[in-house]
Amino acid sequence: MSGHSLNRRRFLQAAGASAISLSLLGRINEIQAHTDEQANHAGSLDFHSLAGQYSLAPEVSYLNHGSIGTIPNSIHEAHVAYLRLCETDPWLYMWGGAWDAGREQVRSQAAEMLQCKADQVALTHNVTETFNLLAQGLPLGAGDEVLFSTLNHPGASVCWFHQAERRGFTVRQFDFPLADVTSLSIDDVVALHAREITDKTRVLVIPHIDNTVGLRHPLKQLADMAHAKGIEYVLVDGAQTLGMLPLQTADTGVDAYAASPHKWVQAPKGLGAAYINSKLFPRLKPMWVTWGQQRWAGTVRAYEDYGTRNLPELLALGDALAFQTRLGAQRKLERYQALWRYTMQQVDATPGLVWRSSRNWSTSGSLYAVGLKQGKAGEAAKALFDDHGIVVRPFDAPELNSLRLSPNTYTSEAEIDRFCELAAGFS
């Protein structure tokens, strides 16, 4: 039995569950044991063989994990099993406390991947929810400024404009020099943000890896610089990094870090996790409330007070986190770097295509933009899918006109070759 399942069982036994509930709860351990077995098997496979662990249609070449991730078959099966188990006694599993230990185990697993304390992790639904919480709940008002670049995703941007109208603070978005991305250094990225900060700036929002060209922002350097300049809150959109890159969130000095595990953690859709520095708890008001505010006052649970939620889905997040852990963070990182380097070399060698992302791994990840010298990216993306089953994300802005690739560990070099060959036909 894995430590993951054993910890849950010990917690349940310590809670003094009845004979009936222990019988029902034992089924959770059966689900966990099966999922652990499948995860161990996947962890022993080479990445080329790992593709067989997913349900992708054979005619689909999926290069779009930056939009929405795939889910391993074993995690899908666990999710379905939790749903079925829930319906054997809905009150017990939803309101009877049967899955309280499971929820807290998931929180601890998310904290382990984020590398922070479990009591600073809110289990949310996505990055957008976390940023709406921050935009609505932080103590901002007239004279305060929120700053971010044009690389910031709408999910971490629109909420600030919306709240600014109501609360009186200002939002300033500065143009990021997309044409320079290929050669920017860590120091360059820090300097670009530093020169935009004024004495009014209280909030700096940054993507860890943006969803357009995949620029990895140096979090610690940015946080140190921003705080030294008087910025109170450094907030990070980590939608593209949890599960892709090994993280040391608490050590970066950022004040909040929002993630969407339905991308690179390959969890069921509609799940999120957020690191919120505990120093924010007295200042950050909840976005929605019901019966738990007095009970959870001063804790991260105050930001999860939305009554009924999909607990079977949440438990499956724990299985997805365990699956990714079995694959090995360093092993995955090396695979992503190898795919990045291979794709860049293939693009450089293909007439009609141009590399539009960073050429330095320290400012890169497994998400990058391939520009078309001619033709329109949107039309090319549609034709690639309609005619060849290749799924990519187009960006039609004139300065980009690119197809964004975000391959996962099981993506093959042959898929990259095929993409480059076919994409070149549109230039």
**Parallel/antiparallel/unpaired status of strands 390-391 and 61-62:** parallel
| pLDDT at 88 exceeding the cut of 50 | yes
Look at residue 34 in the predicted model and tell me its pLDDT: 72
Note whether residue 318 is domain-resident: yes
Note whether residue 60 is domain-resident: no
| pLDDT at 1 exceeding the cut of 70 | no
Note whether residue 29 is domain-resident: no
- Give dist(CA 160, CA 164) in Å, integer: 6
Q: Is 270 exposed, middle or buried (0-12, 13-18, 19+ CB in 10 A)?
A: middle
Q: How far is CA 70 from the centre of its chain?
A: 13
Q: Which residue has the higher pLDDT, 39 or 326?
A: 326
Residues 43-75 have pLDDT tens digits of 777 888 899 999 999 999 999 999 999 999 999
Quick one: 136 and 191 in the same domain? yes
Look at residue 30 in the predicted model and tell me its pLDDT: 73
| pLDDT at 81 exceeding the cut of 80 | yes
| pLDDT at 3 exceeding the cut of 60 | no
Quick one: 249 and 130 in the same domain? yes
Residue 343 lies in domain: 329-426
Look at residue 397 in the predicted model and tell me its pLDDT: 85
| pLDDT interval class at 160 (50, 70, 90) | very high
DSSP character for 217? P
Q: Which residue has the higher pLDDT, 45 or 104?
A: 104
Quick one: 226 and 333 in the same domain? no
- Give dist(CA 239, CA 271) in Å, integer: 11
Q: What value does the mean pLDDT take over residues 400-406?
A: 97
Q: What value does the mean pLDDT take over residues 277-296?
A: 96
CATH number at residue 172: 3.40.640.10
Quick one: 212 and 319 in the same domain? yes
Note whether residue 47 is domain-resident: no
- Give dist(CA 267, CA 174) in Å, integer: 33
Number of domains the chain is built from = 2
Residues 166-184 have pLDDT tens digits of 999 999 999 999 999 999 9
CATH number at residue 414: 3.90.1150.10
Quick one: 256 and 335 in the same domain? no
Domain's final residue, options 323, 351, 375? 323
Q: What is the percent of the chain with per-residue pLDDT over 70, rounded to a whole number?
A: 93
Look at residue 27 in the predicted model and tell me its pLDDT: 67
Residues 119-131 have pLDDT tens digits of 999 999 999 999 9
Note whether residue 30 is domain-resident: no
Look at residue 4 in the predicted model and tell me its pLDDT: 46
Quick one: 271 and 360 in the same domain? no
Q: What is the 3-state secondary structure (H, E, C) of 240-259?
A: CCECCECCCHHHHCCCEEEE
| pLDDT interval class at 252 (50, 70, 90) | very high
Six-digit token string for 344: 């860049």
Quick one: 380 and 302 in the same domain? no
Q: Which residue has the higher pLDDT, 397 or 1?
A: 397
The mean-pLDDT minimum among 12-21, 83-92, 188-197, 417-426 falls in 12-21
Domain's final residue, options 323, 354, 370? 323
Q: Which residue has the higher pLDDT, 33 or 416?
A: 416
Q: What value does the mean pLDDT take over residues 266-278?
A: 97
Q: What value does the mean pLDDT take over residues 248-277?
A: 97
Q: What value does the mean pLDDT take over residues 79-91?
A: 93
| pLDDT at 6 exceeding the cut of 80 | no
User: CB neighbours (10 Å) of residue 89?
Assistant: 14
| pLDDT at 307 exceeding the cut of 50 | yes
Residues 15-53 have pLDDT tens digits of 444 554 545 556 667 777 677 777 777 777 788 889 999
Look at residue 35 in the predicted model and tell me its pLDDT: 77
Note whether residue 42 is domain-resident: no
Q: What value does the mean pLDDT take over residues 216-226?
A: 98
Note whether residue 54 is domain-resident: no
Residue 41 belongs to what H/E stretch?
helix 19-44
End-to-end CA distance of the chain: 55
Look at residue 7 in the predicted model and tell me its pLDDT: 46
| pLDDT interval class at 198 (50, 70, 90) | very high
What count of Cα atoms within 13 Å lies in the side-chain half-sphere of residue 354?
Answer: 15
Quick one: 144 and 282 in the same domain? yes
Residues 337-393 have pLDDT tens digits of 999 999 999 999 999 999 999 999 999 999 999 999 999 999 999 999 999 999 999
Across the chain, mean pLDDT equals 92
Quick one: 191 and 208 in the same domain? yes
User: CB neighbours (10 Å) of residue 250?
Assistant: 16
Quick one: 264 and 406 in the same domain? no
Ranges of beta strands (E only) in 128-243 are 145-149, 170-174, 201-207, 233-237
Note whether residue 213 is domain-resident: yes
| pLDDT interval class at 11 (50, 70, 90) | very low
Quick one: 174 and 249 in the same domain? yes
Residue 345 belongs to what H/E stretch?
helix 329-348
Quick one: 274 and 414 in the same domain? no
Domain's final residue, options 266, 299, 323? 323
